[in-house]
Amino acid sequence: MARRVGFVLVFVGLFLLFFGLVERGYAYPRLRKAPLDQYSKPVATGTGSYFNRSPDKLREITGAQLQNVRIVRGDVKAGSDGIAVWDSFNSTVDTADQGVITATQERIALDRVTGQSVQCCGENPRHQGLTLKFPFGTEKTTYQFWDGPAQRALPAAFTREERINGVTVYRFEQRIDQLDIGDQAIPGTLAGDPATPSVQTDVVYSNVKTLWVEPATGIIVKAQQDVTQVLRTQGGEEVLTLIDAVLTYDQATVDANADDAASGANSLRLFGTILPLAALGLGLVALAAGLVLLRSPEGRRVARGERRPADAV
């Protein structure tokens, strides 16, 4: 009896040790990847001013209620084991009449673990740094994070830990101050110079972007931007505000992101730490107990083929 129990315990122990190693070395790394079939629709709302470009208006609108929607959809066939390809459509509208203020479309390729941009798969434009998520295992440091209007990656610095909906998040800030992102010719009447048919201006862009990131998954739980774009003459005079707004993820978006982040972090903890450690610990205990039984006096006699007294005829 002791011999059979010993063999069973040794088998169970070896199985648990194997399971723990496989779980940590095989299953966990596959869980720790951005999905190929990503779909998300974060919504940000706020108030601000913008220049209405409609031909029948051509004027600055102040105190407008604004809404920004970004739709992200994964192109599964274009992705691979190491790279995800996501298409993004981003628009900002005036909720009063649904008039479009800005609209952009991007194709983003990113490393499924680090979140870093990858130059492949028809990405457009050519991205740098992080784009739509942070790396798994985000650290308290500074990352290069992509900014659309600037068309480049700029530093996003860790500032502090916070909690959102019970989820621990890292708060990052990206500050962009009066960056010249292009030029634009406008009628002299809009520049206060009606005698001049056209005035050349620079597009000057500023933004304070704040990102709240769940560190285990790299999911951006909440985001906010305090953005301005103005037209400035070559003499340094600001003549027109294209947009001046503060936009923040709405509560429904934050709630959904927090739930996804908490679920993802719990799964990573379960499959990356709890199950492997439990399996290894129980496996070692079972293996040790089995070996002890096999090495007991009764176990040694049975192993040598000796009969127990009760078995003698």
Per-residue pLDDT of the chain (313 residues; tens, 9 = 90+): 666 655 555 555 555 455 555 555 555 566 679 999 999 999 999 999 999 877 666 788 999 999 999 999 999 999 999 999 999 999 999 999 888 999 999 999 999 999 999 999 999 999 999 999 999 999 999 999 999 999 999 999 999 999 999 999 999 999 999 999 999 888 888 877 787 888 889 999 999 999 999 999 999 999 999 999 999 988 888 889 999 999 999 999 999 999 999 998 887 776 666 555 665 566 566 556 656 666 766 545 544 555 555 444 3
Nearest partner of 192 among 204, 202, 201, 203, judged by Cα: 201
Cβ neighbours for 92, distance < 8 A, ≥ 6 positions apart: 66, 67, 68, 100, 101, 102, 103, 243, 245, 247
